[in-house]
A and B are shown apart, each in its own frame.
Chain A
Amino acid sequence: MSADYEAVIGLEAHVELATVTKLFCGCLNEFGAEPNTNVCPVCLGLPGSLPVLNRTVVEYALRFAAALDFHVPEESIFARKNYFYPDMPKDYQISQYEEPILVDGQIEIDGVRIGIERAHLEEDTGKTTHMGGGGRIHEADYSLVDYNRAGVPLMEIVSRPDIRTAEQARAYVSELRGVLKTIGVSDVKMEEGSMRVDANVSVRKVGATEFGTKVEVKNMNSLRSLGRAIDFEIERQVEAIEAGERIVQETRHWDEADGRTHGMRTKEGSSDYRYFPEPDLVPLAPSAEMRTAAAGQVPELPQARRARLIAEWGIAETDARVLVDVEGLADFAEAAVAALTDGAARDVANWCTGDVLGYLNETGLSIEVLPLAPDGLAELVGLVAAGTLSRNQAKDVLAECLREPKRPKQVVEERGLEQVSDTGALAAVVDEVLAANADAVDEYRAGDDKVKKKKRGFLMGECMKALKGQGNPQMLNQLLDERLG
């Protein structure tokens, strides 16, 4: 981007809430069931049916409010958003409009406060599959609708236009995901569609106070594509302005394949949604008890946890981020640290972000299915700290413990890996080697630095050979120093 411009970005995240049942009926909220099996008169919008609000959804929203410092108004109102679409059973969506359940939250990204204007509850639609014609509605022979998803609870989280870069946008979404996952209200999987993020992007000259014309960008299905789409859109708008063109307020689709955003040729239906208060539901007024209970259900949030681990374990910010971001990794590390008898928490963290995470990434396994228990890792760290294993030996032992249900000590015994750290035994070996290689000792004593270094390495190698590689290298070095003078 030209240095003369800055971007103004606001994000709208739609998050599927992980309740057992749907927003307004008792049907299961379940991914991947046979089409049209989790349906009833209410979520099919049959004539005469009426919605009844799922209390758990309100509890989840209140918990989210407590986590991100939202204001929860006394009352919020459900409203109907009217538009025709075959996958919407009532041809209106029950949502919240002028009076959402949560307002004025915030999230901090690297010391920058990003405001969250509102979060509101709404129902999801069904899912349409167009048959024939390459899966597009206009060329399809016919379409099939699965209403299992209809009525699944969604929370739409709308940030203020406080974001300035694609990087910041990614960090915001990543933090939001961490919070939602930590408080247990959503799976937040962008790839599976349980979290969808749209971006409102505009650009303006640095120093300008007015906003530019904003463009809504949709269809990003990963953090990576969110970042790419925003970067592309910023470039596109700056180039257009520089070329003297006007930015058109529109919705553009991100195309992952060609790496560009594309304007939609025609808008589906009218944009006048004729919102009005949903007469089938009473105003939503969470009780004082519900509010208090929600506040008590917020566990330590990612940001606070990172700060604590950095302070307590003396680890780097990047390592803390990895520990907290990877599902279950920080829990594993904390359990290992708790079981530690010898060694540092920092070492536990290093093994976790290094070899353990590497193995998880390589195999695609999740941490809870590993045969290695947290106290097994604690044992390994203890063996290194006690000098029983060198770091390289520990790496091999850990590799085996990640694959098979064995304790580190068991592997050490089976392989006869115990490091020789007994001074007497080591001294005997050193003396034997020096006696057998008197020439080399003489050359060492007479030689210049270069020769000294070479001969010293040779003698060390002979010692290790005699010890089958299991001698404690620090102690061997010390003994050699003493004898060679």
Chain B
Amino acid sequence: MSAALEIAADVRAGRRRARDVLEEHLARIDASEPEIHAFNLVLADEARAAADAVDAAVAAGDDPGPLAGVPIALKDNLCTRGIPTTCSSRILEGWRPPYDATVVARVAAAGAVAVGKTNLDEFAMGSSTENSAYGATRNPRDTSRVPGGSSGGSAAAVAAGFAPLSLGSDTGGSIRQPAALCGTVGVKPTYGAVSRYGLVAFASSLDQIGPFAGSVADAALLLDVIAGPDPLDSTSSPVAPAAVSPVLRDGVAGLRIGLIDELVDADGVAPEVREAVDRAAAALEAAGATVERVSVPSVVYGLSAYYLIAPAEASSNLARYDGVRYGLRVDGGDVATMNARTRDAGFGPEVKRRIMLGTYALSAGYYDAYYGKAQKVRTLIMRDFAGAYERFDALLSPTSPTVAFELGAKADDPLAMYLSDICTIPTNLAGHAAASVPFGTDRDGLPVGVQVLVDAVQEPTMFRVMQALEEAGS
């Protein structure tokens, strides 16, 4: 059931043509995309050319790489040379980046075939993929429900079988939460493990690119391709990370797993989600791990700190969309009026809300009380996690407090929407790695995700736990 691994193996061995693999996926997109709306743009022609190139390489006796012929969907905040990159915002209308993001170049070099740019909450701000200038994405498991967000399009693309792999970005849970809601695997790597070069920034100190896949092994395959130092990103780790694929079968015997009190018992965690986490813990114990409860007290302040730090950075990162150089421009009598009209017309309400929040948090006289204090909370969270990781190899929690909710259910209540990320945000603040693995369904058949958290650069341990959960859950 590891689609990407099988495709790559078959294509490399000449048993299947990349073009045939692609056409199967394009047919599925043709059939279901009108209902799901996972993509802002389907790159059928470009994908056919890329697949043909892979087939030509195989025919010539060359190895196209570990992702040979594997269709992949790219979140539409990853720059693609010559191809529109919108961040699901009107403000980037018509903009075609003159360069590829590092991850885009890496998956292409590994033989993957990009099939399209996926929908997201505008500038990755949201948890439902409803805040998109190009319309909402629907959850393939139940199209009356949201896929989660902000990488909802990437999660939906994998869940709908449009591509076995996709890339998303995770600033406060934007990979893990939609993975949980759509029933896929989603990984937020350690900050600095994957280059951010070419990822349109939301909150630079929190953003991290990561994989979606239908299986843990496929997610490992993709992570191993995209991770690694990049001289174009000063915050990328200069040390090459350990590969995760080779350790998948190492099992969890002897691993110490901690169940995070504050997240398992948090208000708003649905009973069936809570039950799934308990079953996951039991499964790990059955596989030879020890499981204990652990308190990480400061995680309860994570949400508040996040909603100061992320908007503050965003207010600065999004300043450049001023109508002067690219994207939308709405004319005005002078430069300031043009700037204001462009930004008013180009940004949606959630983006405006966060720019205002962030601008306020950084203002003279408020900086210490808001941004400064939030950074202190961040330090506190890191300290508490460090304490937990002295005793535990990995931690466990729900990914999302609830399963997928109905479209529109939280659209008018930003705070309720923000609470969707209460379990995922602390990892971003700490700069650690975490992943969501599907673990059963609720009584309506909606997928539930369990979150595995580890210390920085402990992805190999995380993948061993993920693999064990996948095996126990299926």
Contact = CB atoms under 8 A, between A and B. Distances in A.
B221 to A, nearest CB: 25
B334 interface: yes
A211 interface: no
A279 B196 contact: no
Contacts of A137: 335
Interface string B190-202: 0000001111110
A92 B234 contact: no
Nearest to A281: B234
B79 A82 contact: no
A82 B362 contact: yes
Nearest to B85: A47
B197 A84 contact: no
Contacts of B364: 272, 274
Interface band, chain B: 35 or more
B98 A279 contact: no
Residue from B87, B320, B334 having most chain A Cβ neighbours under 10 A:
B320
A272 B200 contact: no
A84 B336 contact: yes
A87 to B, nearest CB: 9
Given A80-B316, A90-B320, A272-B363, A282 B235 contact: yes
Interface band, chain A: 20 to 34
A86 B324 contact: yes
A76 to B, nearest CB: 14
A473 interface: no
Interface string B292-331: 0000000000000000000011011001101011100000
A75 to B, nearest CB: 14
Contact of A50 (B233, B312, B359, B371): B233
Contacts of B320: 45, 47, 89-91
Interface in A16-66: 41, 44-53
B229 interface: no
B337 to A, nearest CB: 12
A145 interface: yes
A189 to B, nearest CB: 29
A138 interface: yes
Contacts of B234: 50-53, 280-282
Nearest to A269: B336
Given A274-B362, A280-B204, A280-B235, A46 B326 contact: yes
B22 interface: no
Contacts, number: 100
Given A47-B92, A52-B234, A281-B234, A145 B324 contact: yes
Contacts of A41: 97-99
B79 A92 contact: no
Nearest to B100: A48
B362 A50 contact: no
A295 B134 CA distance: 58
A458 interface: no
Interface in B171-224: 196-201, 203-205
Contacts of B339: 84
Contacts of B199: 48
A274 B316 contact: yes
A410 B422 CA distance: 91
A92 B320 CA distance: 8
Residue from A45, A51, A280 having most chain B Cβ neighbours under 10 A:
A280
Interface string A438-472: 00000000000000000000000000000000000
Nearest to A143: B335
A315 B367 CA distance: 58
A276 B319 contact: no
Nearest to B233: A50
B197 A49 contact: yes
A47 B319 contact: no
Contact of A92 (B231, B319, B371): B319
Interface in B418-449: none
A58 to B, nearest CB: 13
Nearest to B358: A274
Contacts of A46: 97-99, 326
Contacts of B92: 47
Contact of B316 (A48, A92, A138): A92
A48 B97 contact: yes
B232 interface: yes
A133 B375 CA distance: 48
B197 A50 contact: yes
A48 B197 contact: yes
Contacts of A92: 316, 319
B322 A86 contact: yes
Contact of B359 (A138, A145, A274, A279): A274
Contacts of B316: 80, 82, 92, 274, 276
Nearest to B196: A50
A138 B334 contact: yes
Interface in B357-383: 359, 362-364, 367, 371
Contacts of A51: 234
Interface in A229-282: 272, 274-276, 279-282
Nearest to A52: B234
A178 to B, nearest CB: 34
Contacts of A275: 362
B312 A276 contact: yes
Contacts of B312: 276
Contacts of A44: 325
Contacts of B77: 48
Given A41-B98, A46-B98, A84-B339, A276 B79 contact: no
Contacts of B95: 47
B456 interface: no
25 contacts: A41-B97, A41-B98, A44-B325, A45-B320, A46-B99, A47-B95, A48-B85, A48-B201, A49-B99, A50-B234, A52-B231, A52-B233, A82-B315, A84-B319, A84-B336, A84-B339, A91-B319, A143-B335, A274-B359, A275-B362, A279-B205, A279-B235, A280-B201, A280-B235, A282-B234
Interface of A: 41, 44-53, 80, 82, 84, 86, 89-92, 137-138, 143, 145, 272, 274-276, 279-282
Interface of B: 77-79, 85, 87, 92, 95, 97-99, 101, 196-201, 203-205, 231-235, 312-313, 315-316, 319-320, 322, 324-326, 334-336, 339, 359, 362-364, 367, 371
Given A48-B101, A50-B197, A80-B316, 15 more contacts: A41-B99, A45-B325, A46-B98, A48-B197, A50-B232, A51-B234, A84-B322, A84-B336, A86-B335, A92-B319, A272-B364, A276-B312, A276-B313, A279-B205, A281-B234
